Amino acid sequence: MSKTEQNGEKQISSAVIRRLPRYFRYLRELIRNNIMRISSKDLAEKMNVTASLIRQDLNCFGGFGQQGYGYNVKYLYNEISTILGVDKHYSAVIIGMGNLGHALANNPLFEKRNVAIKGLFDVSDNVIGKKVGELTIMDMANVTDFCRENKIDIAVLTLPKPEAPAAAKLLAKAGVRGFWNFSNMELSLPEYSVKIENIHLGDTLMTLCYELAKEDNESEKDEI
Amino acid sequence: MSKTEQNGEKQISSAVIRRLPRYFRYLRELIRNNIMRISSKDLAEKMNVTASLIRQDLNCFGGFGQQGYGYNVKYLYNEISTILGVDKHYSAVIIGMGNLGHALANNPLFEKRNVAIKGLFDVSDNVIGKKVGELTIMDMANVTDFCRENKIDIAVLTLPKPEAPAAAKLLAKAGVRGFWNFSNMELSLPEYSVKIENIHLGDTLMTLCYELAKEDNESEKDEI
């Protein structure tokens, strides 16, 4: 069996998977700039990681760089695209049409990922019936029927924390099998076979503050 | 030197640092629920990672669990809080008051992280002068003076991609030293000593789609 054949069956760790979208973005950028070969060292510098991490990650899916020649950018890009399933199409609803719901509804990232936003939902009479782009915000009371009828794959949860678990259960029952959860709580639905991405925007702000605090501590030390 | 003393000087890898906010959230939740001891196994189950990763991470900053007794939740929480610098206070501006800018301006996460939003900026006459909470959206033309006078630490970039690099340079010159960048481009300012967190919301959507695609592929295989 060739390495490429093996690759289809190989288990890739979730840590590597989480890094793949970043590789995907960088490789796409390289292709756009007509760069068709890159060394692990140059890619590492661009991505601000170590060259050994890159070699290790890319080896996972058959990206074997050639000594003194580097990686074939297009080959890697295609491999990663296939692994990530970027050619698949999914449908989604946004639950909770506050500012974040609006920001996401208008965001081109869904189209880029082949995710079609089919419906927007809220519980508030202040927004139900309002148009956002091509879509009209619907009453949350109708979400179950809508998701069943339209075979919705993904729910984007931008509703307040206390309301998230009940809404998610309702949606899972209606056949939704992926949750992109911005409600700032760790959603867990062990009784349903669903995939959940819990987003905590604050985590990266915390990392940034950590970096600033570290710098402050170091300059305080220098002053002593 | 005791292990705790060592800890203050120890270099912690950036991969561990990136996981700390998650530990921080889980430990806070445990304290809220009056759980003062937890085994690596139970914490691992809650956080959906391996127990060995938890032991390895927590060892980095002196969190030594006791066999059959587990970790002291409060001790770990305090250690992580100190490392992350959650007691430090920083000031911030939001650049770009579209839907995402509004969503962030109204978000309690800044207050939770001791980051005070001091100013909101945009280039469009349609929004300049409008109130968002206690603040009035200001003209981007005044951003340099404002950041200098108010010693702004952090800029939240929610402006369109093409405008981000120039705005960031302007802000870095005005003394801003941390960038929380939502403009969907990899910001890099090597000529300034600044910290940058590039946020790519689409990456986690991609990971979610990957999980769904994997499931689809597996069920297709089962059908053959």
B70-116 pLDDT tens trace: 889 999 999 888 888 888 999 999 999 999 999 999 888 899 889 99
Average pLDDT of chain A to the nearest whole number: 88
Higher-pLDDT residue of B63, B88: B88
Asked if B181 and B189 touch (Cβ cutoff 8 Å), the reply is: no
CA-to-CA distance for A137 and A118, rounded, in angstroms? Answer: 11
A32-63 pLDDT tens trace: 999 999 988 888 888 888 888 888 888 877 66
pLDDT at A70 over 90: no
Chain B residues close to A18, C-beta within 8 Å: 207
pLDDT at A2 over 60: no
Higher-pLDDT residue of A97, B223: A97
Chain A nearest-CA distance from B70, in A, is 23
pLDDT at A3 over 90: no
Looking at residue A74, the DSSP 8-state letter turns out to be H
Does the predicted interface ipTM exceed a cut of 0.90?
no
DSSP A76-118: HHHHHHHHHTTT--EEEEEE--SHHHHHHHT-THHHHTTEEEE
- Mutation choice for B interface testing from A79, A99, A111 by most B CBs within 10 A: A99
B172-217 pLDDT tens trace: 999 999 999 999 888 989 899 999 999 999 999 999 999 998 888 7
CA-to-CA distance for B2 and B156, rounded, in angstroms? Answer: 40
pLDDT at B45 over 90: no
Chain B residues close to A61, C-beta within 8 Å: none
Chain A residues close to B216, C-beta within 8 Å: 85, 88
Chain B nearest-CA distance from A70, in A, is 23
Minimum Cα–Cα distance from A203: chain B residue: B21
Q: Is B68 exposed, middle or buried (0-12, 13-18, 19+ CB in 10 A)?
A: exposed
